[in-house]
């Protein structure tokens, strides 16, 4: 029996850095959503734990013991056996939670394979700050160091994303180190409802990704990718996700997003570009 679990890209529609704890961990306030594009984790019964990696973004990925997929398996059941395969479609270290999504998909696949409960958020947090929100799997407000997960009250509106990665790696610790401020204002206490993509974009325009400026200083091509997205017909807002380097453009219609993605691929053949629906709930 093989169990396949989809690992969708995590998108930080907003990312406010609101403080820093005494232990050095940064406090965040982020509106997190998911896109209909991602990796896949496949699990099959086996005597020993193993990992095979394939897919268009597999090059350079290490299947050693420190891989998040294997770490997730050991967290769920130390000593458990399974043959795992990660089909990697998302760029690595790109600000869209690929590793965290893969770890979460592994937990889901093995929980079914081994008939075990999923770990709670506190245990999942040991795998990474984005793992609890990925484990929750719904659009949510994420606060603190990733432990505060509040699902939004209503589904997100129908909308599409175009994701663009200009092919550069960005170190999250380096971006945090380059921040000008670490005590920025949070989002409003009460988030509004968004009946359509335009209202969501209007809200996002009043909010921020506080890591964007620092990431651009480290990798100026991020600004080029963001500007290229913003220039596409139908793009309601363009912003960097996470600590970069992936940027997203928000579109109201699938046709606009797909046309924009094709135009960006033609203009920038070395970039990773993909359209994807915004997963509403």
Active-site annotation holds for 10: yes
- Domain of 186 in residue numbering reads as 153-279
Q: Which of 29, 39, 102, 130 is catalytic?
A: 130
Enter the pTM of the model: 0.96
* Residue that is last in its domain, among 123, 149, 175: 149
* 8 and 144 together in one domain: yes
Task: Look at residue 271 in the predicted model and tell me its pLDDT.
Answer: 98
Phi, psi torsion values for 40, nearest 5 degrees: -135, 135
Segment 186-196 shows an average pLDDT of 97
Q: Would the pLDDT of 7 be above 80?
A: yes
Contacts of 270 (CB under 8 A, 6+ apart): 166, 167
Active-site annotation holds for 39: no
Q: What is the pLDDT of residues 205-239, one digit of tens each?
A: 999 999 999 999 999 999 999 999 999 999 999 99
* Residue that is last in its domain, among 149, 183, 210: 149
Task: Look at residue 1 in the predicted model and tell me its pLDDT.
Answer: 83
* 140 and 173 together in one domain: no
| Pairing of β 16-20 and β 26-45 | antiparallel
* 129 and 267 together in one domain: no
* 165 and 145 together in one domain: no
Residue 264: give its domain's CATH number.
3.30.70.890
* Residue that is last in its domain, among 149, 178, 198: 149
* 52 and 158 together in one domain: no
Calculate Rg over the CA atoms of the chain. 18
* 109 and 96 together in one domain: yes
Is residue 265 within 8 A of residue 271, CB to CB? The reply is yes
**Cα–Cα distances in angstroms (integers) from residue 28 to residues 14, 18, 203, 226, in the given order:** 10, 6, 18, 22
| Beta-bridge mates of residue 85 | 42, 52
Phi, psi torsion values for 195, nearest 5 degrees: -70, -20
Q: Which of 10, 29, 39, 226 is catalytic?
A: 10
* 120 and 259 together in one domain: no
| Beta-bridge mates of residue 8 | 38
């Amino acid at each position: 029996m093989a169990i396949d679990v989809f690992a969708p890209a995590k998108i930080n529609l907003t990312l406010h850095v609101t403080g820093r704890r005494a232990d050095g961990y940064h406090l965040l306030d982020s509106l997190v959503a998911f896109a209909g594009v991602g990796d896949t984790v496949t699990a099959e019964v086996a005597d020993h734990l193993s990992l095979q990696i394939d897919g268009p973004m597999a090059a350079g990925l290490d299947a050693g013991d420190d891989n998040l997929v294997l770490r997730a398996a050991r967290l769920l059941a130390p000593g458990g056996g399974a043959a795992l395969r990660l089909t990697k479609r998302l760029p690595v270290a790109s600000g869209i939670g690929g590793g965290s999504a893969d770890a979460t998909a592994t937990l889901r696949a093995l929980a079914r394979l081994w008939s075990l409960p999923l770990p709670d958020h506190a245990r999942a947090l040991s795998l990474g700050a984005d793992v609890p929100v990925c484990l929750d799997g719904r659009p949510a407000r994420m606060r603190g160091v990733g432990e505060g997960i509040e699902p939004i009250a209503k589904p997100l509106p129908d909308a599409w994303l175009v994701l663009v990665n200009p092919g550069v790696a960005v170190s999250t610790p380096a971006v945090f180190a380059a921040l000008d401020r670490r005590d920025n204002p949070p989002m409003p206490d009460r988030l509004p409802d968004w009946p359509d993509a335009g209202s969501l974009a209007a809200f996002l325009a009043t909010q921020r990704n506080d890591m964007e400026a620092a990431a651009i200083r480290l990798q100026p091509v991020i600004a080029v990718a963001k500007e290229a997205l913003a220039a596409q017909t139908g793009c309601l807002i363009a912003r960097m996700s996470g600590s970069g380097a992936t940027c997203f453009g928000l579109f109201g219609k699938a046709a606009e997003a797909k046309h924009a993605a094709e135009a960006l691929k033609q203009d920038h053949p070395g970039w990773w570009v993909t359209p994807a629906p915004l997963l509403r709930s």
